[in-house]
Structure 1
């Protein structure tokens, strides 16, 4: 995926955050952007996905494709599972194209003018842009598909602000060609690492109403001299202010006062309330630790804490030479090595999903997962112990 020339302050990818917390835009000004191995792996996977999609839908000869793919696979962030992941993405695009009676118009990695709705301009005065992975248009339908490489956070297409902002930008971009003929918007998020393809549909009228009533007002609020107080929530996860935000700290540290005159034991309703109040405590504490450690390493003073050298680790300087010397002292070679089977997940990651299924798929059994507690908003069905007891394992 090509690196965008301009990264919008109110970007579609962070819309979930700044729509709920407009103050985060102004407060985060001047904070340098950071990256991570996960982000770099995501960018690489996007590039592979784009290359495969261009080979499928555009003019790209086999020799050029193989050369470009080989170059991408030599990247330090490449992992074999990316091949299977990106294959699923292209297969999904093919299914979308075949859903139309005639071949749709297709655009890949396209910059769309989201700044029309987020009230943001580039330095040249043109609207800020966001990059949509794939746009398909035919028969009055605008279909946008997005690839997510990560496995840490499940992402749904339902009322997804990033995808809805892309759709608004695409409608504006192609208005001269299609006018008002597009009346249906379909949004899809492909997240292969979680075996997820999330689809959602909304009418053009509803999407444009959301833009007028939700997106643009939040953008205007974010640009005000006083955008209001920060408003913490699950959107804090990727906020650059999450380590220092006072409002987030206040929310996490707040303790529900149940009163002394009430029964000594919490009711089930009160347990639920307490869980909701403390939901972000662990994540917030870890973010605070990361910030404090980095500050100490930079020479700053964090009251009551300091950075120290962690537990040392030992390793062989030359494994072959070390083992040779050890065997000369009468130690048997069998003692020096451990033999254990590779796990299903590790082998699938090493081989790639497609090769793994072909070679070993018939030898894998799936056991039901251990029950876990989640919020009611989670889309998975509730655990039914009675039904599970009579459910055979395949």
Structure 2
């Protein structure tokens, strides 16, 4: 595994939209989470499946070499779905030239960052700009970049996705040296959300994006080296602030949230239900769109306050305490089993039995279509609940006449 580049493709929305974000974040520690570690394990599992032609299920209950996260049934099923989809695309090609897994792509030369170094810092060497594409396929005259998003918090669209466009651009300049590429596509796989998104771009459009990339990267890098010079070096917004390490201390974001709340939520009083019901659609949409950014900001502030208190810094009016203890667990199950046996407990007192899940049963019966068909007759699956998504989402909208629970009334 490698450290992230300064101008990381995965953070492209951040430094594209807010040039000062890199400068404000430079002294902030890298953020990690259980979700990120889980995603790293899922990517390592996918790499293993691609390279060795194995099924993801063979590693259930085991740990990959990257961290201590165990591969569970859900991860194996999701990763296998992704692997099968990509392999299906690869196998459908008449002519296959390249099938690269976890390919590191260096796009430093495309940015020419040296032009943005302050003359005072002439000895400063620009950091390399690189990223790692999950899968690159080159064949039938086309270049494809595939990206696995293991998380299930937010649906990600491939349309004009900057991270994948950067990968595609770097891959295009590299692979086009050896063969002609006349079509390019980027693909996002989110198996846990049953979501797949594809976006095609012409070589001409990709090169035009490269010019924009160079300008935006140069602007962000200049601010990183020299510091902010103008007010619009800072620009708050949902996409650029969501994963910014400095979001919790950014005054521009705080003021932006304050302005949004003051402008859009001034009527949230005892008459809130009547106000919402009578509100115009556009105004209501504007309020709803602001919620994600406000939640993100709240989480960033909470994280920063906790970090400051853990460092021993004062945050007036607040302190750290221990939360409620976690659930009881055996320190060593084998020792616990032997101890309970010494108490002469009965089998049904020591052990609990649980019927396997439908998913586990279908795997056990794999290849037996008759038994699977019989089993499916007794499997039930609840319908999905109404959820709000952007209009660009490809799923059909629910008709107002459809029968579903009135969530507003439940909340009231």
Fold conserved between structures, TM > 0.5: yes
Aligned residue number for residue 313 of structure 2:
300
> Is the CA contact 1:316–1:322 (under 8 Å) kept in the aligned structure 2?
no
Q: CA deviation at 1:337?
A: 9.1
Q: 1 CA distance for matches of 2:365 and 2:153?
A: 22
Q: CA deviation at 1:341?
A: 7.1
* Equivalenced residues, count: 363
Q: CA deviation at 1:217?
A: 1.5
Unaligned runs of 5+ in 2: 115-123, 268-273, 405-412
Q: CA deviation at 1:120?
A: 5.0
Alignment CA distance shift 1:236-1:54 (3 Å): same
Q: 2 CA distance for matches of 1:314 and 1:117?
A: 53
Q: CA deviation at 1:127?
A: 4.9
Q: Is structure 2 residue 175 aligned with structure 1 residue 174? A: yes
Aligned residue number for residue 267 of structure 1:
279
> Is the CA contact 1:18–1:218 (under 8 Å) kept in the aligned structure 2?
yes
Q: 2 CA distance for matches of 1:324 and 1:107?
A: 53
- Partner residue of 1:251 out of 253, 256, 267: 256
> Is the CA contact 2:96–2:138 (under 8 Å) kept in the aligned structure 1?
no
Aligned residue number for residue 94 of structure 1:
87
Alignment CA distance shift 1:274-1:115 (3 Å): same
Q: 2 CA distance for matches of 1:352 and 1:169?
A: 45
Aligned residue number for residue 99 of structure 2:
106
Q: CA deviation at 1:52?
A: 1.6
Q: CA deviation at 1:388?
A: 5.5
Aligned residue number for residue 372 of structure 1:
387
Q: CA deviation at 1:85?
A: 2.4
Matches within 5 A, 1:313-332: 315=328
Q: CA deviation at 1:201?
A: 1.1
> Is the CA contact 1:84–1:354 (under 8 Å) kept in the aligned structure 2?
no
- Partner residue of 1:283 out of 275, 289, 296: 296
State the secondary structure of the residue aligned to 1:167: helix
Q: 1 CA distance for matches of 2:128 and 2:107?
A: 7
Q: 2 CA distance for matches of 1:293 and 1:127?
A: 33
- Partner residue of 2:216 out of 203, 218, 237: 218
Greater displacement, 313-322 / 251-260: 313-322
Q: CA deviation at 1:165?
A: 0.2
> Is the CA contact 1:10–1:118 (under 8 Å) kept in the aligned structure 2?
no
Alignment CA distance shift 1:371-1:168 (3 Å): same
State the secondary structure of the residue aligned to 2:132: strand
State the secondary structure of the residue aligned to 1:136: strand
State the secondary structure of the residue aligned to 2:38: helix
Alignment CA distance shift 1:274-1:116 (3 Å): same
> Is the CA contact 1:112–1:131 (under 8 Å) kept in the aligned structure 2?
yes
Alignment CA distance shift 1:238-1:383 (3 Å): same
Aligned residue number for residue 130 of structure 1:
131
Q: 1 CA distance for matches of 2:214 and 2:380?
A: 50
Q: CA deviation at 1:163?
A: 0.7
**Could you give the per-residue CA deviations for residues 309-331 of structure 1, whole angstroms, max 9, x where no partner exists?**
33456748897799899999xxx
Q: 1 CA distance for matches of 2:219 and 2:16?
A: 9
State the secondary structure of the residue aligned to 1:177: coil
Q: 2 CA distance for matches of 1:19 and 1:252?
A: 20
Alignment CA distance shift 1:55-1:124 (3 Å): farther
> Is the CA contact 1:163–1:187 (under 8 Å) kept in the aligned structure 2?
yes
- Partner residue of 1:12 out of 9, 14, 17: 9
> Is the CA contact 2:100–2:135 (under 8 Å) kept in the aligned structure 1?
yes
> Is the CA contact 1:110–1:133 (under 8 Å) kept in the aligned structure 2?
yes
Q: 1 CA distance for matches of 2:301 and 2:287?
A: 22
Matches within 5 A, 1:223-242: 223-224=221-222, 225=226, 226=228, 228-242=233-247
Q: CA deviation at 1:299?
A: 1.4
> Is the CA contact 1:50–1:109 (under 8 Å) kept in the aligned structure 2?
yes
Q: What is the RMSD of the two structures over their aligned residues, measured on CA atoms?
A: 3.9
Normalised to the residue count of structure 1, the TM-score between the two structures is: 0.77
Q: CA deviation at 1:84?
A: 2.3
Matches within 5 A, 1:52-71: 52-56=49-53
Q: 1 CA distance for matches of 2:127 and 2:176?
A: 17
> Is the CA contact 1:144–1:188 (under 8 Å) kept in the aligned structure 2?
yes
Unaligned runs of 5+ in 1: 57-61, 390-394
Q: 1 CA distance for matches of 2:401 and 2:105?
A: 51
Aligned residue number for residue 410 of structure 2:
none
State the secondary structure of the residue aligned to 1:271: helix
Aligned residue number for residue 397 of structure 2:
382
Greater displacement, 8-17 / 355-364: 355-364
- Partner residue of 1:309 out of 319, 322, 336: 322
